[in-house]
Amino acid sequence: MADETKDQIHEPLHTGPEFAVAEDDHEVVEAHPVAGSSLWRDAWRRLLKNKLAVFGMIVTLLIVLASLIGPAIIRRATGFTYDFIPKDTALTKSFAPFRATNGAFSWTHPMGTDNAGRDMLARVLSGGQISLMVALISTLVSLIIGVSYGATAGYLGGRIDDLMMRIVDVLYSLPYVIIVIVLLALLPAKSPTGQLAELFFALGAVSWLTMARIVRGQVMSLKNQEFVLAARATGVSTAKIIFRHLVPNTLGPVIVYATLTIPTVMLSEAFLSFLGLGIRPPRVSWGSLAAEGAQNLAIYPWQLVFPGLTMALMLFSLNFVGDGLRDALDPQMRRE
């Protein structure tokens, strides 16, 4: 690692892509990616130094992997899926973790089963798939809306910017969760898949505001720099300047904020599912599993404990990753 840093210091001339093209030299072409990615490399190095962030990344990765491939493995090995109800009526009841029909120790259900005898481990992992998917796609929706809105407002400036940001201020003070609840309760989609799409849209549409503000601020500080002027002088269209030249330069803060949005959205999804407004049966998510578990709390506590704690662990590590990324990518944002 020390060698790389030295290389960078000794090659101040070959930082811009123009030089790499102009001098048709093999060495320069090789050196270029190192110089070009130094910001990301530095950030990555800082991130790896942050023990909590590394812990968060490992746990996140483990849970994501388990959710992605776990259900398939369980089905191969035991035949259980999240909606598999055993035919044998002696099995359609809730077993404690690691317990078989006769109460003896057994590896069959490490997290127990729910009231219908469905394997909790399969349910928690499948629920993880849905929860992660909702969180990712909704964050993506909010990213697209927020970045384009903020970049447009910031670049155009003046009256349009004033108006667009006034709208954001107004939306900020709306109790939008209330409206989302009304929307999901009164207009439930016909199919579980439609319900998922509705969730993506509803959650994404309400979580882009801060992203818009961050991107606007970034764009405003960038738009008077030479490279934008150069682009404008060569006749590049406004839309192209915004999305080709300005948006890529705001990537750092955008990534940081997007990482911090994922746990928030995940929590919102779980909150809605807990109220019976989000994911509906037969699909499961961590929120809807926790809701089921809370109903059977007094007799079958494991039905709440496992999905609840899995989710808490996921949020815990995601928050650490987000905080770590913020410190690594943008040391100035550390204040928050």
Partner 1 sequence: MLRFIIRRLIIIVPMLFIILSLTWVLIRLAPGNFYTAEKKLSPAVEQNLREKYGLNKPWYTQYRKVLWNMARFDFGTSLKYEGQSVNQILWRALPVSAALGLSAYLIALVVGITIGTLAALRQNSWIDYASMALAMIGISIPNFVLGPLLVLLFGLTLFWLPPALWDGFPSKSLVMPAVTLSAIYIAYIARLTRSGMLEVMRSDYIRTARAKGLSEGQVVVRHALRGGLLPVLSFSGPALAFLITGTVVVERVFALPGLGNYFINACFNRDEPLIIGIVAFIAISVLGFNLLVDIAYGFVDPRIRY
Binding site for partner 1 (CB under 8 A): 170, 172-175, 177-179, 181-183, 185-187, 263, 267, 270-271, 274-276, 287, 290-291, 293-294, 297-298, 301, 304-305, 308-309, 311-313, 315-316, 319-320, 335-336
The residue count for the chain: 336
Q: How many CB atoms lie within 10 A of CB 20?
A: 19
Q: Could you tell me which residues are beta bridge partners of residue 119?
A: 113
CB of 319 to partner 1, least distance (A): 6
**Smallest gap from residue 130 Cβ to partner 1 (A):** 16
Report helix, strand or coil for 101: coil
Q: Least CB distance from residue 111 to partner 1, whole Å? A: 15
Give whichever of 69 and 177 is closer to partner 1, judged by the CB atom.
177
- Tell me whether residue 175 or residue 248 sits nearer to partner 1 (CB atom): 175
Q: What is the DSSP letter of 282?
A: T
Residue (38 or 296) nearer to partner 1, CB: 296
- Which of residues 52 and 251 has its CB atom nearest to partner 1 in the complex? 52
Give 160's contacts (C-beta < 8 A, 6+ positions apart).
153
How many Å is the Cα radius of gyration of the chain?
Answer: 25
- Are the C-beta atoms of 280 and 122 separated by less than 8 Å? no
Q: Are 146 and 212 in contact (CB under 8 A)?
A: yes
Q: At what angle do helices 251-274 and 302-329 cross, to 10 degrees?
A: 170
Q: Which is nearer to partner 1, 141 or 180 (CB)?
A: 180
Task: Find the shortest distance in angstroms from Cβ 32 to partner 1.
Answer: 39
Rounded-to-integer distance, Cα 94 and Cα 301, Å = 10
DSSP 200: H
Alpha-carbon distance 18 to 86, whole Å? 66
As a whole number of angstroms, the distance between CA 136 and CA 101 comes to 39
Cβ nearer to partner 1, comparing 254 with 272: 272
- Give me the least distance between CB of 198 and partner 1, in Å please: 12
CB of 271 to partner 1, least distance (A): 6
- Under 8 Å between Cβ of 320 and 54: no
Query: Please, which residues bridge with residue 113 across strands?
Result: 119
Closest approach of Cβ 4 to partner 1, in Å?
Answer: 30
Nearer to partner 1, 153 or 270 (CB): 270
